[in-house]
Structure 1
Amino acid sequence: MDKIKIGIVVASDRAFSGIYEDLSGEAIKEVIGEYILNPCEYAYRLIEDEQKHIEKALIELCDFEKCDLVVTTGGTGPAVRDVTPEATFGVCEKMMPGFGELMRQTSLKYVPTAILSRQTAGIRGQSLIVNLPGKPKSIRECLEAVFPAIPYCIDLIGGHYIEANEKNIKVFRPKS
């Protein structure tokens, strides 16, 4: 079974400066750990909400760390310092807008302010980048919605084969 490399980028001025503890990075690890049977190696970055820092982290994780999946959290709202989608657009060769559409649709079941979210996803090389919301509960809800398509997407871009834990999540791969 292939080892899967997962990049986690937490874009948060307050967590970066120590005002509060980052809970979202751990929430991502917890959910991914429930969904993937492969051994996983995590590369974690806690950075400020600045486009150049986010872009640098995404490039490092995709090009040098060779992550199959890079998940960001934070910086997807309409506030002035929310620039994670812009950083994602800035480094990706292909955008995958369906991920953001499904995450917003899912989140709207819980909060009407989900329409303010600008989450997206894209491909850089052999890495899939997915922007998630910042709250642990929302991270779980959104990953539950989009994860069924993630392993096949990673197959299509030449990443490692992800074995899903079918007890916790059903993934879809077309029969060949």
Structure 2
Amino acid sequence: MGIVKAVCISENRGTQKVNVKTAEFAMNYGIVGDAHGGDWHRQVSLLSNEKIEAFQREGADVLPGAFGENLIVEGFDFSSIPIGTRFQCKDVILQLTQHGKQCHSHCQIYYKMGKCIMPTEGTFAEVIKGGIISVGDELIQLKDRDDRLTAAVITLSDSGFAGQREDRSGLLLKELLEEKGYRMVESLLLPDEQSQIEEELIRLSDQRDVNLIVTTGGTGFSPRDCTPEATLAVATRNAPGISEAIRLYSMAITKRAMLSRGVSVIRGKTLIVNLPGSPKAVKESMDCIVDQLPHGLNVLLGRVSNCARP
């Protein structure tokens, strides 16, 4: 059990949050009156009171809301609690969606202390059920959680990102994964920029703890095709058999399948698989691998053992 120590909001982005002590939490939005509310996965930010106190002992002098946090709670180390975990405070139910964040511009705390705890210790959540939270309220961790495998889809296409072509492949991938029972976390459309692709792969793997990331596009011979390079750059381990199986399967349909440079890798507890860019190739590739992926993912997550068949 935890105790709410502060409830903070800011009416405008870029301004420091202040402790308003009580606030209304709206389902699928966030905190009413907070500039960071909306239809996205970072509706509410949480920070452990113990982490703030430890930082204060290092010489920081900060007020509630200084790190951009909405809720300060005593009794939980949110950064160590798995994504997907749910918490309840009176009527409000929150579900954790992301650990930490990337700071693109440093705050005053960073310039004073040389670091800031929000990028590493902060945790974000969605509002599953709305209500009122006030300072002094009890926050409890719920036992039930959504244990479905999670997935994200990234479409890589300069023309698609520019709005010149419909993203049919990404939509098809999302539908196929949902049909197989995956809980979709994000669907992104990005240009063929290696640094941007790497950044999103790292964020989805490390901060959102996505189990499976499937990319479509950017695997050919064009000078702009860099998806395999970006994927290999963020890998901690290789998983070549998946992409080898896709090419072998597709070679029976078209010899041009040999020209796909897609790779499959592991980053931490996340499997990343590159698919070609056309809807036809996406369908063929998924037909080949989709039924085998859950076993590999569950082994990766430690849910089942990797037992060989007799």
TM-score bracket, shorter-length normalisation = 0.7 to 0.9
Q: Pairwise CA RMSD of aligned residues?
A: 2.1
Q: 1:78 aligns with which of 221, 226, 230?
A: 221
Offset of residue 159 of structure 1? 6.8
- Cα 1:88/1:17, change in 2 over 3 Å: same
- The residue type equivalent to 1:34 in the other structure is E
Matches within 5 A, 1:1-176: 2-36=147-181, 40-158=183-301
- The residue type equivalent to 2:201 in the other structure is L
- Cα 1:59/1:126, change in 2 over 3 Å: same
The equivalent residue for 2:59 is none
- Cα 1:82/1:155, change in 2 over 3 Å: same
- The residue type equivalent to 2:243 in the other structure is G
Offset of residue 175 of structure 1? 6.5
- The residue type equivalent to 1:44 in the other structure is S
Mapped to 2, the partners of 1:105 and 1:77 lie a distance apart of 16
- The residue type equivalent to 1:106 in the other structure is Y
SS at match of 2:153: strand
What is the TM-score of this pair, normalised by structure 2? 0.50
What is the TM-score of this pair, normalised by structure 1? 0.85
CA contact (8 A) 1:9 1:71 kept: yes
SS at match of 1:118: coil
Which of the pair has more CA radius of gyration? 2
* Between structures 1 and 2, the one with greater strand share: 2
Mapped to 2, the partners of 1:64 and 1:159 lie a distance apart of 19
- The residue type equivalent to 1:156 in the other structure is V
Q: Structure 1 unaligned segments of length 5 or more: list them.
A: 162-172
Offset of residue 160 of structure 1? 7.1
SS at match of 2:192: coil
CA contact (8 A) 2:155 2:189 kept: yes
Measured against aligned partners, the alpha-carbon deviations of 1:77-101 in whole angstroms (never above 9, x if no partner) come to 1111111011110001011111111
Mapped to 2, the partners of 1:27 and 1:148 lie a distance apart of 16
- The residue type equivalent to 2:261 in the other structure is R
CA contact (8 A) 2:178 2:184 kept: no
Q: Structure 2 unaligned segments of length 5 or more: list them.
A: 1-145
- Cα 1:154/1:124, change in 2 over 3 Å: same
* Between structures 1 and 2, the one with greater helix share: 1
Could you list the runs of 4 or more consecutive aligned residues of structure 1 that deviate by over 3 angstroms after TM superposition?
173-176
Mapped to 2, the partners of 1:58 and 1:94 lie a distance apart of 14
Mapped to 2, the partners of 1:18 and 1:72 lie a distance apart of 18
SS at match of 1:148: coil
Offset of residue 4 of structure 1? 2.6
Offset of residue 138 of structure 1? 1.1
Task: Tell me the percent identity.
Answer: 38
CA contact (8 A) 2:174 2:184 kept: no
